[in-house]
């Protein structure tokens, strides 16, 4: 009887241990399941947070690019990856600065960026635009008042100009000039900035140097590969474009009255006025026509601050 009782007691012991073991394993499995689910959610949340971060940054760079192209509306909604991004702009009171606000959302996660920036200088709104220095040449507004803000010097680059189209227009109009020094007559080419249709500008492609004698007035867009010499009281009604870094614009002798360009002057090199003074009076109509042949954007806006905001 004692032996049987002992065996029964052993059976009870092992049964209890088995139950405890099963329960322990079940609890461990449940704990692992909860832990895996929790970790899985954390990983998913981190992925969504990173996607929201990338979406916000991508949308911000897109907004800056569109602002440089002057084609960003006040509010734009974009689809970026698995989320959306909303961009809106507003002006900063009392300044010329702009605020670009970005809100990117992926799942339950948002990322906000606020960028304060200063717009780039538009070519169409300037009298003189050059990557070099300017000496003894001044910029004036359309009323003839001196305005240094209309002069851009040492620019990082010149917006890309469609030189091939301008050259083709010059050839089609019969105005290509191959002489080592081209000196146009008074009233060249037809006494107007425009062709007879009143819409198409006159375009002259000068392969070498270009000189305007004092007292003469000429018209149109002039693409000059060499140097430009304007004698005293020479007048240009239009735009001079100097595509080469070695080109300069120089005043010569003649009547001491200053030479005048009414329109604009765009150069990839230094602009130096020796002798008589030169003034470049901004004429919006002529610069708008010239900028129709601009294929690249104006210099990028300057970022003043870039802030990541708490949600």
Give the model's pLDDT for residue 42. 59
Length of the chain in terms of residues written = 311
- Domain coordinates of the chain in residue numbers? 51-120+300-309, 123-291
Pick from 301, 309, 310, 308: which is nearest to 117 by CA? 301
- List the beta bridge partners of residue 85: 78, 104
Tens-level pLDDT at each residue, the chain (311 residues): 554 554 455 555 556 556 565 556 555 555 554 444 555 445 556 777 788 888 888 888 888 777 766 666 668 888 887 788 888 888 777 666 788 899 988 888 888 999 887 766 678 889 999 988 998 889 999 999 999 889 988 887 888 899 999 999 999 999 999 999 999 999 999 999 999 999 999 999 999 999 999 889 999 999 999 999 998 889 999 999 999 988 888 876 655 567 899 999 999 999 988 777 789 999 999 999 999 998 866 665 667 788 988 76
Give the model's pLDDT for residue 233. 86
Give the model's pLDDT for residue 40. 47
Residue 117 structure tokens: 């920036």
| Burial class of residue 122, CB neighbours in 10 A (0-12, 13-18, 19+) | middle
d(CA 81, CA 91): 29
Give the model's pLDDT for residue 202. 98
d(CA 311, CA 184): 66
How would you classify residue 40: left for phi > 0, otherwise alpha for psi between -120 and 50, otherwise beta? alpha
d(CA 1, CA 16): 23
Show Cβ contacts of residue 245 under 8 Å, excluding neighbours closer than 6 positions. 131, 132, 268, 269
Which fold does the domain 51-120+300-309 belong to in CATH? 3.30.1300
Give the model's pLDDT for residue 218. 98
């Amino acid at each position: 009887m004692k032996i049987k009782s002992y065996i029964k007691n052993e059976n009870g012991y092992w049964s209890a241990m088995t139950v405890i073991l099963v329960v322990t394993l079940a609890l461990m499995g449940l704990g692992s399941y909860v832990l895996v689910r929790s970790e899985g959610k954390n990983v998913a949340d981190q992925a969504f947070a990173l996607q929201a971060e990338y979406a916000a940054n991508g949308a911000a760079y897109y907004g800056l690019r569109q602002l440089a192209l002057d084609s960003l509306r006040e509010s734009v909604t974009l689809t970026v990856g698995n989320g959306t991004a909303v961009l809106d702009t507003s002006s900063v009171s009392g300044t010329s600065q702009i605020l670009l606000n970005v809100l990117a959302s992926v799942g339950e996660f948002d990322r906000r960026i606020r960028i304060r920036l200063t717009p780039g200088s538009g070519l169409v709104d300037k009298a003189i635009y050059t990557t070099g220095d300017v000496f003894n040449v001044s910029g004036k507004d359309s009323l003839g008042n001196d305005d240094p803000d209309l002069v851009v010097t040492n620019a990082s680059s010149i917006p890309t100009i469609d030189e091939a189209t301008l050259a083709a227009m010059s050839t089609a109009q019969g105005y290509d000039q191959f002489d080592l020094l081209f000196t146009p007559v008074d009233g060249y080419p037809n006494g107007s900035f425009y062709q007879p249709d009143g819409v198409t500008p006159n375009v002259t492609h000068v392969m070498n140097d270009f000189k305007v004698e004092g007292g003469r007035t000429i018209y149109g867009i002039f693409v000059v590969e060499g140097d430009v010499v304007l004698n005293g009281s020479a007048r240009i009604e239009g735009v001079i474009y100097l595509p080469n870094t070695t080109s300069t614009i120089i005043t010569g002798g003649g009547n001491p009255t200053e030479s005048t360009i009414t329109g604009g002057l765009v150069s990839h090199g230094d602009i130096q006025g020796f002798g008589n003074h030169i003034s470049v009076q901004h004429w919006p109509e002529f610069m708008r026509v010239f900028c129709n042949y601009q294929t690249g954007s104006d210099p990028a806006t300057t970022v003043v601050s870039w802030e990541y905001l708490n949600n």
